[in-house]
Amino acid sequence: MSETPLLDVLVVGGGIAGLWILDRLLAAGFDTALIERRALGAGQSIAAQGIIHGGTKYAIEASGARTASSVTGMPRHWRDLMAGRAEPSLAAATQSAERHLLVTGGIGMEIAARLVTANSRRLAQRDWPPVLAAAPGSSRVIALDEPVMNVGSVLAALAATHATRIRRAEAVALEQTKEAIGVTLRGPRGRPGQVGARLVVVAAGAGTAPLATGARQQARPLHMVMARNAPADLHAHWISGRGRPRLTLTTHSMDFDRIWYCGGDLAERGVGLHPDQLILRAREELERALGPAATSALRFATYRIDRIEGAARGGRRPDGPVLQALGRTLAVWPTKLALAPVAAAKTLSWVREQIAPRQGERMVLADWPRADIASPPWAEVERWS
Ligand SMILES: Cc1cc2nc3c(=O)[nH]c(=O)nc-3n(C[C@H](O)[C@H](O)[C@H](O)COP(=O)(O)OP(=O)(O)OC[C@H]3O[C@@H](n4cnc5c(N)ncnc54)[C@H](O)[C@@H]3O)c2cc1C
């Protein structure tokens, strides 16, 4: 280990958290590199709907009241990043929508009325997107101050800034000594390797607990629905009478096609269903929300993925990023894409408490291959039905 080159910090995992952390550590002068085993964002990040929540969705779920507080302010912060008023600059990233809509039928109206706050406003019917105006199931539409990001473009913007610091390799084992950590690497085609770092930050999503001994995480399984041939751009939550987001829909582009990507209760409750059953349910749900004219040409596929969070008592959703320090290793879960800036700021504070940056530029993994940006789930579908 003493002969292997030593980084200040090695970041394991190139999702939104790892890329953000890399940026903040480099900006603070730490000699840092990131390794990604597949492609950047290949876990949850590229599968995210990209909504920069400001807390409204959680304010309507009784159990989510605490989550609401940690995300408040994120929409404004992300807008500052896109405008280059804050760092890291996301000027090269794109948003899919400036705001997200909340749609209720008659039964959820009381809840909706409570949600009209400084950060949201009720839309007059003439301002509704045409696809909603023609829909049978909407009686109130509220515009939420929550941008929807094109996640691939965010990952690309972060990665482009630090391309020389990002390499494709899997961390397969960490060995902690008194002064450093030895990391055993496996590259493409099984290439073996070794790198040393004074600290290791593991932001590897599902791969975090398997790598960082003692790290505790929880998984929230989802079965998402994708529909191609979508007739219009739409980014909306539909709220049930019990105040649950029964359907969360975002729109994404694929070549010349438009994809509706559906989560919310549909995806949470669909976990136990066969894809064909879930597609049937999704058809009904979309038809109820938007009517047959908007939904008849849709073709469907489903996608299973787990949301991974740091373990919280009773398995409840953590109210912010979770960081677990394990000696010279820090395990990090942002909990939400929107909270990556908070996760990175907390990680930087922890690193500063442990070490000071050393002088001099090095790039110890220079001869390892670069990592590409992952493809979104809809680009990987083999059969639409
Ligand atoms: C369907 C879905 C929709 C979502 N929608 C939203 C939303 O609209 N808004 C929001 O704020 N949040 C949303 N989220 C949550 C958000 O996506 C996650 O909180 C966030 O992307 C987690 O990022 P991460 O970097 O921690 O993990 P990941 O994105 O999972 O990245 C981890 C990376 O580590 C790599 N890796 C794993 N093990 C190793 C190893 N041993 N060596 C090297 N690399 C390794 C993986 O290949 C992967 O690229 C959604 C999540 C899901 C699943």
The pLDDT tens digits for 272-295 are 999 999 999 999 999 999 999 999
- Ligand 1 atom closest to residue 169's alpha carbon, by position in its atom list: 43
How far, in Å, is the centroid of ligand 1 from the Cα of 15? 5
Q: How many residues does the chain have?
A: 385
Burial 336-364 (b: 16+ CB within 10 A, else e): bbbbbbbbbebbbeebeeeeebeeeeeeb
What span, in angstroms and rounded, lies between the C-alpha atoms of 126 and 141?
A: 11
Question: What pLDDT is recorded for position 72?
Answer: 84
Residue 63 in contact with residue 319, Cβ under 8 Å? Answer: no
Instruction: Check residues 381 and 178 and name the one with the higher pLDDT.
Output: 381
CA 159 to ligand 1 centroid distance, Å: 15
- CB 343 within 8 Å of CB 321: yes
Write the residue with the smallest CA distance to atom 15 of ligand 1. Answer: 336
Q: pLDDT band at residue 120, thresholds of 50, 70 and 90? A: confident
Residue 15 pLDDT level (bands cut at 50, 70, 90):
very high
Helix axes 16-27, 151-161, angle to 10 degrees: 30
Position 106 confidence tier, pLDDT thresholds 50, 70, 90: low
In this prediction, residue 93 carries a pLDDT of 98
For the chain, what percent of residues have pLDDT higher than 70?
Answer: 90
How high is the pLDDT of residue 8?
96
Q: Looking at ligand 1, which residue's alpha carbon is closest to its atom 27?
A: 205
pLDDT value of residue 228: 98
Residue 317 near ligand 1, beta carbon < 6 Å: no
Q: What pLDDT band is residue 157 in, cutting at 50, 70 and 90?
A: very high
- Whether ligand 1 lies within 6 angstroms of the CB of 17 is answered as yes
pTM of the model: 0.95
Closest atom of ligand 1 relative to the 250 alpha carbon: 8
pLDDT at 61 over 90: no
Q: DSSP letter at 374?
A: P
Minimum-distance ligand 1 atom for the alpha carbon of 13:
34
- Rounded CA gap, 286 and 132, in Å? 12
pLDDT band at 121 (very low <50, low <70, confident <90, very high): confident
What rounded mean pLDDT belongs to the chain? 91
Question: Can you give the pLDDT at residue 310?
Answer: 98
CA 223 to CA 41: how far, in whole Å?
Answer: 18
**Best probe residue, ligand 1, of 144, 261, 317, 337 (max atoms within 8 Å of C-beta):** 337
Query: What mean pLDDT do residues 303-320 have?
Result: 95
Rounded to whole angstroms, the Cα distance separating 198 from 179 reads: 7
Write down the pLDDT at residue 2: 45
Predicted confidence band at 134 (pLDDT cuts at 50, 70, 90)? confident
**Alpha carbon of 288 to ligand 1 centroid (Å):** 31
Residue with tokens 């929107």: 338
Band the pLDDT of 268: cuts 50, 70, 90.
very high
Residue 240 pLDDT: 77
Residue-level pLDDT at 71:
82
How far apart CA 308 and CA 219 sit, in angstroms, is: 5
Q: Check pocket membership of 24 for ligand 1, CB cut-off 6 A.
A: no
Best of 44, 252, 339 for a ligand 1 pocket test (most atoms within 8 Å of beta carbon): 44
Pair 158, 92: CB distance under 8 Å? no
Task: Assess whether the C-beta atom of 50 lies below 6 angstroms from ligand 1.
Answer: yes
pLDDT score recorded for residue 63:
43
Instruction: Write down the pLDDT at residue 1.
Output: 46
Which domains, ranges and CATH numbers included, belong to the chain?
1-98+146-216+311-385 (3.50.50.60), 100-144+217-308 (3.30.9)
Q: Is 34 in the pocket of ligand 1 (CB under 6 A)?
A: no
Ligand 1 site-directed mutation target among 45, 200, 235, 304, most atoms within 8 Å of CB: 45
- DSSP label of 51: B
Which of 32-41, 78-87, 242-251 shows the lowest mean pLDDT across its residues? 242-251
CA distance 369 to 38: 11
pLDDT grade, residue 152 (50/70/90)? very high
